A and B are shown apart, each in its own frame.
Chain A
Amino acid sequence: MKTKYMNPYLAGVLLGLVLLSAFYFSGRGLGASGAVKSVVVHAVDTVSPSHVASSEFYSKYAGEGKKPLNSWLVFEVLGVLVGGFLSGALAGRLKFKIEHSPKITSKKRLILAGMGGILFGFGSQLGRGCTSGSALTGMAVLSLAGFVTMMAIFGTAFALAYFFRKNWI
């Protein structure tokens, strides 16, 4: 069967070169959850600056003239939106759609997606980065944390796969 997608090994090499260029130009790797954190901190700061000032977590990133949205990852993730959109447009994949297994309803898929997002968002803060920032980038710089987080993410997903199989297959 002819696949619609790029050969995965070629895509992996290209992704590795994107990662390498981030290291070469900016001295840092890729990320995603950090950008969402910046938006969350910015939102909290807009609604209640006093809450930011009294919070040990938020005050690391906002208040006292710090601008959480002026961050490398925020601009990088804006690029991800543009790059993903361009690729989807070129491949004819732009379409509003709820993708799910025929065994579950769209509603169930959306509830599960929301729950998964909450867990991933929470875990990414505890783990200091997500699949791209901690696992992928961390492994490329040989960081112990990168290997540990990568094994914890994939190991847990494999271990739980059986219980959630009806949602996917």
Chain B
Amino acid sequence: MGPLVPQEIIGEGWNFFIAFVVGIGFGFVLEQAGFSSSRKLAGVFYGYDAVVLKVFFTAAVTGMLGLLYFSLFNWIDLNLVWVNPTFLWSAIIGGIIMGAGFIIGGFCPGTSVCAAAIGKIDAMVFLGGIFIGIFAFGEFYPLLKSLYMAEYLGQIKLSDVLGISQGALAFFVIVAALAMFWGAEFAEKKFPQEEY
């Protein structure tokens, strides 16, 4: 029963090896999907290529449903799966800054690593920028700490906030994803497409 490493069914020594293998899968799929191209990634914001939206939400729904089914069959103990804690203001403002970085730079950190791996020089520069941005955050941390720690709500789930079951939330997320896929297919037909 999973998760295997936290329950010591697999030794802790294997954890970094697992991380490496998981990473290979992650990078391989990102590149196969076309996430190594910034113009393809940015396409979602102009409607000419919605690959980001399709891959991102299909992956989120697959991971979400997988966890719920694994939990249902007792294959995984959800109490041992890390839930990102919610610090409301930093989540919103951090997300806004990341969104600006996305439309200006054309990558996010994971996709820039993947694109740098196949030789995209713009991705290598973006990656260099991430180092600078993180260093800046580290240096200015004393000024940012109050914002960083504000509105701590705990390791809370959206289903608890809405007062519905996890299954019901999953259902609504799937409906929303299907609506977005329909919109994405419509937009791709409406706007001229190019392959990069």
**Residues of A with Cβ closer than 8 Å to B?**
1, 3-6, 8-9, 11-33, 36-37, 39-41, 44, 55-58, 70, 72-73, 75-88, 91, 93-101, 109-110, 112-161, 164-165, 167-169
Contact = CB atoms under 8 A, between A and B. Distances in A.
B183 interface: no
Interface in B148-173: 148, 153, 155-161, 166, 169-170, 173
Classify the interface of chain A: helix, strand, loop or mixed. Answer: helix
A26 B26 CA distance: 15
A119 B95 CA distance: 10
A116 B138 contact: no
A138 B195 CA distance: 31
A16 B195 contact: no
Contacts of A152: 91-96, 98-99
Contact of A99 (B38, B100, B142, B157): B38
Nearest to B173: A139
B195 to A, nearest CB: 6
Interface of B: 2-6, 10, 15-34, 36-40, 42-43, 45-46, 48, 50-51, 54-64, 66-67, 70, 75-76, 80-88, 90-123, 125-138, 141-142, 144-145, 147-148, 153, 155-161, 166, 169-170, 173, 181, 193, 195-196
Contact of B16 (A72, A80, A148): A72
Contacts of A127: 90-91, 93-95, 97-98
A118 to B, nearest CB: 4
B59 A12 contact: yes
A97 B98 CA distance: 24
B32 A123 contact: no
Contact of B118 (A73, A93, A119, A169): A93
B132 to A, nearest CB: 5
A5 B33 contact: yes
B64 A29 contact: no
13 contacts: A12-B54, A40-B131, A44-B135, A80-B24, A81-B23, A87-B28, A93-B31, A117-B129, A117-B131, A119-B105, A120-B126, A122-B97, A143-B83
Nearest to A19: B63
A118 B45 CA distance: 20
Contacts of A135: 56, 95
B81 A87 contact: no
A110 B133 contact: no
Nearest to B159: A142
A123 B94 contact: yes
B132 A121 contact: yes
A126 B26 contact: no
Contacts of A30: 22, 26, 110
B118 A94 contact: yes
B5 A148 contact: no
A31 B20 CA distance: 12
Given A25-B2, A88-B36, A125-B137, 12 more contacts: A13-B59, A15-B58, A17-B66, A36-B127, A57-B138, A77-B23, A118-B101, A118-B130, A123-B98, A127-B90, A132-B109, A140-B67
Nearest to B92: A152
Nearest to B144: A126
Nearest to A132: B110
